[in-house]
Each structure stands twice: as C-alpha cells, then as structure tokens.
Amino acid sequence: MSSLFRVNAWFVVLLFFMQTGQSLLQAQSAAADSLRYEEETHLRNIRQLTFGGDNAEAYWSFDGKMLVFQRTSVKDGIPCDQIYVGKVPANAGEPFTYKMVSTGKGRTTCAYFTKDNKHIIYASTHLASEACPPVPDRAKYGNKYIWPLYRGYDIFMADLNGNIKKQLTTSPYYDAEATLSPDGKKMIYTSTKDGDIELYSMDLATQQEKRITTTLGYDGGAWFSPDGTKIIWRASRPTTPEQIGEYKELLAQDLVAPTNMEVWVANADGSNPRQVTQYGQANWAPVFMPDSKRIIFASNHEYKRGFPFNLYTINEDGTNLQKISRDKGFDAFPMFSPNGKKIVFASNRNNGGTRDTNVFVADWVE
C-alpha cells in the first residue's frame, strides 16, 4: 500500500468520525433543546422542572440555588395554590425535588425569598379561612376574565420548614403580590386598603410603610430593578366614564378585570412614574433585565382573541420590542437568575394538550 493511499485512507476515516461525532453532538443538542421553538434564539437548554398541575410564579433565591413557586394540583390533593421550595438541579441528571412551605390551608400567592436565602415571604388567606376561597362566577360578568382580590390575604414571612416567623400585613383588605429590593430591606406589595388597588413599600425591619401610587386603576405585580433605583409594575388606567364605572363596580365586589394593562416604571420611591408599553390588551408580569435598563414581560397584544401569551423584551423608553418566546398557549412570569445567565418562566408547552402550566428553566443567550 502506497504512503499516499494510506494517508488518504486515514483522512477518509478521520473525516467519517468527525462527521459522525458532529452528527451525534447535533442530535444531542437537538434532544436537549426539544422544548425550545426554533425562533427562541435567546433560550438554550430549556429544562422542564414540574410536571402536571398548575405551577407558576417561580422565583430565584438570592444565591441562585433555589426556586420558590406556587402550585395547584387537584389530583394530588392541592385544590388551590400552595407555596413550594425546591433546589435548582446543578446537572442534567439531578431531579428537581420540592416541598410545601406554606400551611396547606386557604389559598396562597406571590412568594419571594429573603436576602438570607433561609426565609420566604408570601400571601395567604389561611387566617381568614382554612378552606380555599370561592372562585368568582365569571358568567355573571359576561364571561370576562376576572381576578378575585380576596380580603383574607395577608403577607407572612416563614422559614424553609414552613414555620411562620412574622406577619407583615394586618389590614382587613387584599394585601399580596410582594417582592423585595435587591438589598432585602424593602418590600413592595399591592393592597386595596385605601379604596383602590395601589402599591406600597414597607421597611422590613420597622414595618413602616408608604403608599407609592395614587392614580385610579390597578397597580400590581411590582419589582425593584437589580440596581435598586427603580420599580416596575403592571397597571390599568380606566379613563372613559364606562371604563371607570366598570372598574369601580368590580372593585366594590373585590374583583378586577386584568384584560387591559400596560407596563409602567418609576423611581424606587414611586416618583417620576412613566408608561413603557402602549399596546393594548394585557401587558404584564414585567421585570427588569440584569442591566436594569431593559425589560422582559408577558403579553397577548399580537392576538385579538387574547391568546396566546408570549415573552417580549423592550427598552425602558419603549423602543426595540423583541419577541422572545413562541408557545401557542402561555409563557409568562419570567425572572433572571442573580448572575443573569439563566431565566425561569412558566409555560403551557409540553403539556400534552392539557391545561397544565409548568415551570421551566433555560440558559439565556444575548
């Protein structure tokens, strides 16, 4: 066999193994990203963490090692939302396991880790009643999408074994939707105690608080920016007599129709409020991205039927809207990990045609 032939033969063999290896890597990559739509270029290595039921509002601990989320699963004996904590898997082979940290009584919502990563805050109705509060009959309101503002909600601080250490709010109204500042010292939350749906900030050490919104309409779901200088939230602003009348009529029954909301930002103390989106329909679940300048939020504005919801990014001045997710059902509740490398969100994807919503985590690619 000539030297030239041997070289060519080895080259063919080497090329074969290189191509085979590349094909295997591509296959493995495709398998690893089977939950990602082709257009979702900012998401990589999507992993589903929960399976079955209604799982949402999953938020990172300050050290990025755990998630807290709310879960309903009737078949598992959880008739309405309870709060769970789980360790984020460090590798592909590690399962996501979680445990209940709320009381298992009443209904809960909107949990968030404290700065020490050893406690959570969350809203619960368990003091008002151990039973799940009744769901509004939407048929009475023309089958509109209605959110109940249960007066039984108060905000509590608990350890990771579920022991309540402190009650943070005590008003006989709706107190919920709480998150914390980056330094862990201030809480921002929503309450109806002054006759409208407004935002309040509270110093956790003293529990002294300040109302920071004053305009008629729903102000809720607020977050601080990562640098702590700004807040972001969702808001409705009824303006016509018909809109104002409907809003007040529902509010008198402790209800709100969150079908027309826009994203707003302000300084951390509530000064200089300004509207970011003007798309109509529901633009909500906004949070600042790691640079404290750009925003990610959920919206159905592209679809007049009100569905699906997808994730979008936008600059703080309302420019450069980009569509991030592509599920045909529901993508919402995004939150970046503290180091900005990962994102957690809730989605209807991969639910087998059911109504299940699950928690997903992915690498973020700029």
pLDDT of residue 305: 87
| 171 pLDDT tier (thresholds 50, 70, 90) | very high
Beta strands (DSSP E) in 92-137 are 98-100, 108-113, 119-124
- The two three-digit tokens of residue 364, written as one number: 């973020």
pLDDT of residue 32: 59
Across the chain, mean pLDDT equals: 92
- Within 10 angstroms of residue 22's Cβ, the number of other Cβ atoms is 10
Residue 359 CA, chain-centre distance (Å), reads: 10
Residues 217 and 234 sit within 8 Å (Cβ to Cβ): no
**pLDDT tens figures, 196-247:** 999 999 999 999 999 999 999 999 999 999 999 999 999 999 999 999 999 9
Q: What percent of the chain has pLDDT over 70?
A: 91
Mean pLDDT value across residues 255-267: 97
Give the Cα separation of 287 and 311 in Å (integer).
Answer: 11
pLDDT of residue 319: 98
Mean pLDDT value across residues 170-177: 98
Give the Cα separation of 271 and 306 in Å (integer).
Answer: 32
Mind listing the domains of the chain with CATH numbers?
Answer: 42-364 (2.120.10.30)
Q: How far is CA 331 from CA 81, 98, 359, in A?
A: 19, 22, 10
Query: Is pLDDT of 120 > 60?
Result: yes
Query: Is pLDDT of 12 > 50?
Result: no
**pLDDT tens figures, 46-98:** 999 999 999 999 999 999 999 999 999 999 999 999 999 999 999 988 999 99
Instruction: Note the residue count of the chain.
Output: 366
**pLDDT tens figures, 347-358:** 999 999 999 999
Q: What percent of the chain has pLDDT over 90?
A: 88
Query: Is pLDDT of 30 > 50?
Result: no
pLDDT of residue 193: 98
- The two three-digit tokens of residue 72, written as one number: 């309903």
pLDDT of residue 31: 52
| 143 pLDDT tier (thresholds 50, 70, 90) | confident
Name 16's Cβ contacts closer than 8 Å, sequence gap at least 6: none
| 8 pLDDT tier (thresholds 50, 70, 90) | very low
Sign of CA dihedral 153, 284, 78, 55: negative
- What is residue 141's DSSP assignment? G
